[in-house]
Amino acid sequence: MPPQPNRSPNGDPEVVIRVRDLVVELGNKIILDHLNMEVYRGEILGLVGASGSGKSVLTRAIIGLLPKRLGTIEVFGENFDELPPVARRALEQRWGIMFQHGALFSSLTVKQNIQVPMREFLDLSDELLDELAMLKIEMVGLSPDAAEKYPSELSGGMTKRAALARALSLDPEIVFLDEPTSGLDPIGAGEFDELLIALHETLKFTVFMVTHDLDSLHTVCDRIAALAAGTIIAAGTIETILTSPDPWLRAYFQGPRARAAFGLDLAKAKHD
């Protein structure tokens, strides 16, 4: 059973991200159409959807990298649009982002990549920056000699871990992960999932994870939100999603690949 989300004083799950009636348009095409969703403190939420459905667009809209046409986005109870620049900058320090394919700066070493957010937001000595970067490198399971390597010298799995270390550089309360296991072989993807679970249990951050990896959805996520036709068509636990009558969800979660990932859970859901 997944851990229960943190509760507010009135007993309801504590919401750290609230999206209401979000409309995002790119090139005169509406990508997100009056979308509503919530993310609870302390949970790992997996966002799924077909290719081109707008999963990464939603992530970028939440963190302010894409403009919206309508709607509101609240993070930690703050309306991002209403915050003055200083307050927005302070809010941005409370989340970390791991972009798809890592997005490491090719001209910087792993250690220097990890230090980029630290140098932007913190006033620390070079000695302390080095110490903190090495701590993050160890935290994600990279060897110390990876610190001086450039992205071109890293394997796919090492790139993912380095990108995760950079996302964790400011000890964020929310971590955004965009397809964190894409491009990894099954062993590497499984090891990354195990790392994420261990870090989440230790650091207690909230995770908003875009993924199509059925194994990750099954083993890592507390809840799943499904995006289709520009909106969230279902949200809940694996068990809830498996009982959805929606044709796309049934094809996605009850197809041949899902049988391997979900095993008896899928068989039980189909029987029920």
Strand partners, 39: 17
pLDDT score recorded for residue 12: 73
Torsion angle of the four alpha carbons 161, 232, 19, 65, in this order, in degrees rounded to the nearest 10: 50
How many C-alpha atoms does 40 have within 13 Å on its Cβ side?
20
The C-alpha angle 169, 171, 174, rounded to 5 degrees, equals 110
Q: What is the pLDDT at residue 106?
A: 93
pLDDT tens track for 49-66:
888 788 999 999 999 889
Dihedral sign of CA atoms 37, 39, 40, 44 in order: positive
Distance CA 31, CA 29 (A): 6
CA distance 229 to 40: 24
Number of other residues whose CB lies within 10 A of the CB of residue 89: 12
AA identity, residue 96: G
The pLDDT value recorded for residue 181 is 87
pLDDT of 262 > 70? The answer is no
Report the SS3 class of residue 170: coil
- Provide the pLDDT for residue 256: 58
pLDDT > 70? residue 255 = no
pLDDT band at 6 (very low <50, low <70, confident <90, very high): low
Q: For the chain, what percent of residues have pLDDT higher than 90?
A: 62
Q: Nearest to residue 233, comparing CAs of 208, 206, 253?
A: 253
Mean pLDDT of 19-38: 94
**Phi/psi of residue 137, each to 5°?**
-60, -45
- Kindly state the average pLDDT of the residues 210-233: 91
Q: Give the whole-angstrom CA distance, residue 170 versus residue 68.
A: 27
Mean residue pLDDT of the chain comes to: 88
Comparing C-alpha atoms, which of 79, 3, 53, 25 is closest to residue 225? 53
Please state the pTM of the whole predicted model: 0.87
| Domain residue ranges of the chain, discontinuous segments joined by + | 103-171
Output the pLDDT for position 7: 52
